[in-house]
A and B are shown apart, each in its own frame.
Chain A
Amino acid sequence: QLTQSPSSLSASLGDSVTITCRASEDIGRSLAWYQQKPGKAPKLLMSSASTVQSGVPSRFSGGGSGTDFTLTISSLQPEDFATYHCQQVKSYPLSFGGGTKVEIK
């Protein structure tokens, strides 16, 4: 089980925001983060908790291990307003968090 918080947040351009994902058991660093825009499929941002995928801007960073993980977006840009999902990738059955919607204040 993965619990994301908050479920939604409002922020301004240029703000830094942090999203949290908590696992119900120790998953090491086996966590992925996705970004999803309305009407689109999720896009992989990060694997292994903090490994940024090719092409993802450096303002995205991930951290944590064990049960507590974070996704931080520094200096929010217009294209960053989206929903973010975490996924445990340690073992089957796979599971996702409930998602965090980042909206413009």
Chain B
Amino acid sequence: QLQLQQSGPQLVKPSETLSLTCTVSGDSITGNDDYWGWIRQPPGKGLEWIASIYYRGNSFYTPSLKSRVLITIDAARAQFYLNLTSVTAADTAIYYCARGGFWRGYYFDYWGQGALVTVSS
């Protein structure tokens, strides 16, 4: 059974960089049809897709965050990462990592547990 385990700080200061890690277990991170993504949800609000990456490094970003976001992957460690720079209070949200597809569809069928990241001094 595929599992995604998130880790990272719960509190980040304004203007600093938010860094999160998602560790994949129970299946390979190098699946031919698997894209790995980050989605966030501000408290009490809807879901926002942030970015997705293939194990070979091909990546996609949401336009509104593209200038501040970097998604990377380390297949050997079975991990992928999110870096979000110059954070503000508006970046306070529950951050999820998830597995998406490519040819089978871009929907997310496995999700991490979610982590609330608060931006505050």
Q: Which residues on A are within 8 Å of B, measured CB to CB?
A: 30, 32, 34, 40-44, 47-48, 53, 85, 87, 89-99
| B14-57 to A contact mask, C-beta < 8 Å, 1/0 | 00000000000000000000000101000001111100100000
Measured between beta carbons, the chain A residues less than 8 angstroms from B106 are: 30, 89-92, 94
Most chain A CB within 10 A, of B52, B98, B106, is at: B106
Identity of the chain A residue whose Cβ is nearest the Cβ of B4 in the assembled complex: A41
Measured between beta carbons, the chain B residues less than 8 angstroms from A85 are: 46-47
A interface, by DSSP: helix, strand, loop or mixed? Answer: loop
Identity of the chain A residue whose Cβ is nearest the Cβ of B94 in the assembled complex: A41
A90 to B102 alpha-carbon distance, docked (Å): 10
- Nearest Cβ distance between residue A99 and chain B, in whole angstroms? 5
- Nearest Cβ distance between residue B33 and chain A, in whole angstroms? 13
Q: Are A44's CB and B109's CB within 8 A?
A: yes
Measured between beta carbons, the chain A residues less than 8 angstroms from B52 are: 92, 94
Determine the interface band of chain B, counting residues with CB < 8 A from chain A.
20 to 34
Measured between beta carbons, the chain A residues less than 8 angstroms from B62 are: 93-94
Measured between beta carbons, the chain A residues less than 8 angstroms from B49 are: 87, 93-96
Q: Which 9 A-B pairs have the closest CB atoms?
A: A41-B111, A32-B107, A89-B106, A94-B49, A96-B47, A92-B60, A98-B46, A99-B46, A93-B62
Measured between beta carbons, the chain A residues less than 8 angstroms from B98 are: 41
Measured between beta carbons, the chain B residues less than 8 angstroms from A30 are: 105-106
Measured between beta carbons, the chain B residues less than 8 angstroms from A40 are: 114
Q: Are B96's CB and A48's CB within 8 A?
A: no
Within 8 A of A (CB), among B59-82: 60-63
Task: List, sorted by A's number, 27 A–B pairs whose CB atoms are closer than 8 Å.
Answer: A30-B106, A32-B107, A32-B108, A34-B108, A41-B98, A41-B112, A42-B47, A42-B108, A44-B107, A47-B107, A48-B105, A53-B109, A85-B46, A87-B47, A87-B107, A89-B105, A91-B106, A92-B60, A93-B60, A93-B63, A94-B37, A94-B52, A94-B60, A94-B62, A94-B106, A96-B47, A98-B46
